Amino acid sequence: MNYQTILGKNDFIEYLRGKKASFLLAGSVSKTCEINGLSQAGIPGMMNLTPTLDAEFITTAQVRSLEDVPKTLKGVPTPALITRAVHELKPFADIEILNLGLTHVPQINYFDVHNFDIKPSDSIKTGANINAMEVFQKGVEFGQNFKTSNDYVILGESVPSGTTTANATALALGYDCKDSFSSSYKNSPNSLKAEVITQALETSKNSVDIFEKLGSVGDNMIIFNAGFILGSRANNLKLILAGGTQMACVLLTVNSILRSMGGELDSSNLALCTTKWINEDKNSDIKALLELLDFPINAYSANFDFSSSQNPLLKLYDEGEAKEGVGAGGALVYGLINGLNNETIVKKVESFLGA
């Protein structure tokens, strides 16, 4: 089998084999990413452009708001290349972009770029300053009204410094998960990250309710998508959360909101799909995070790596750099259950990087 079942059974993902998928990319910017050295998901000083460039690249194979694709300091190219490779080999039926507070609107035509009038959020060190209830409601409404002519939706994210805001959010919500969160670094900058998170929690400590907490330590992607998940249950939308610990945090947020409201969730049409790099990460624990949920969740990881590649930058993925993002894990599982194999995807990714 070319995927692994992390939690649940494989029936859900097998049911989706051969079916048509829409790919949604949720992009947001938090000024947390301006903290020097915290995130490596982009170019220092221009980290805020990363989600915009990712959106442009997966749709058109071009970056238009800058001259090159985002990469880490070590030169590891954005996981958008993986998502795009799958799309070229086994196209999604549709790609749509959710603008959840971008500094720059992606320069693309024809593709739906949903605008929710959401602003980039502030640094969580001093408070993200998000009207969380409003952003959440926008997500709920979008979920309730979301129609697709395809069979299911793969939801990816691009949020620089997103693992930090996710980690802070889960801690602020009271989950015991200090060591379960991932980072785009191989050697996660734990002291800096821990410091930012500690300050964020300190800043938010007087928050009186869950939305006040989310608005202080969270990011728009997490808050909106918690709403999207809940709202889309009305239509039983089959939804794959394509991501690692950030998407796990979205689920933890859903969980906390349900607890606070005394609500229940039918999670049978939900799953999380991530990369092998996340599933096997020694510095984080996606399974432990998902086991904190009160509801059962299907979770899978793609058996994909760059071991067949000669490209040293791609091989850094196998050593633990970058790991996940831009829906790469979900895109890979989608590709692998639709007839693609590891080597074909590797070759396609390599083709984007030249000889």
The site for a copy of itself (CB under 8 A) is made up of 1, 9-12, 14-15, 17-19, 59-62, 87-94, 108-111, 268, 337-339
Residue 110 CB, nearest distance to a copy of itself (Å)? 4
Backbone angles phi, psi at 33, to 5 degrees: -70, -10
What is the spatial distance between Cα 38 and Cα 82, in angstroms, rounded to a whole number? 23
Residue 144 or 269 with smaller CB distance to a copy of itself: 269
Distances (CA, A) of 48 to 7, 27, 43, 62: 34, 10, 9, 18
Residue 76 or 108 with smaller CB distance to a copy of itself: 108
CB of 316 closer than 8 Å to CB of 74: yes
- Total Cβ atoms within 10 A of residue 9: 10
Residue 20 CB, nearest distance to a copy of itself (Å)? 8
Residue 59 or 279 with smaller CB distance to a copy of itself: 59
What is the spatial distance between Cα 27 and Cα 55, in angstroms, rounded to a whole number? 8
Cα 328–Cα 330–Cα 335 angle in degrees, nearest 5: 90
What is the spatial distance between Cα 240 and Cα 330, in angstroms, rounded to a whole number? 7
Residue 65 or 137 with smaller CB distance to a copy of itself: 65
Residue 240 CB, nearest distance to a copy of itself (Å)? 14
Residue 277 CB, nearest distance to a copy of itself (Å)? 23
Residue 116 or 352 with smaller CB distance to a copy of itself: 352
Residue 289 or 297 with smaller CB distance to a copy of itself: 297
Backbone angles phi, psi at 95, to 5 degrees: -125, 130
Residue 9 or 205 with smaller CB distance to a copy of itself: 9
DSSP string computed for 304-320? --STT---HHHHHHHTT
Residue 294 CB, nearest distance to a copy of itself (Å)? 20
Query: b or e along 148-165 (b: 16 or more beta carbons within 10 Å of the residue's beta carbon)?
Result: beeebbbbbbbbbbbbbb
Q: At what angle do helices 328-336 and 80-89 cross, to 10 degrees?
A: 30
Radius of gyration of the chain (CA): 18
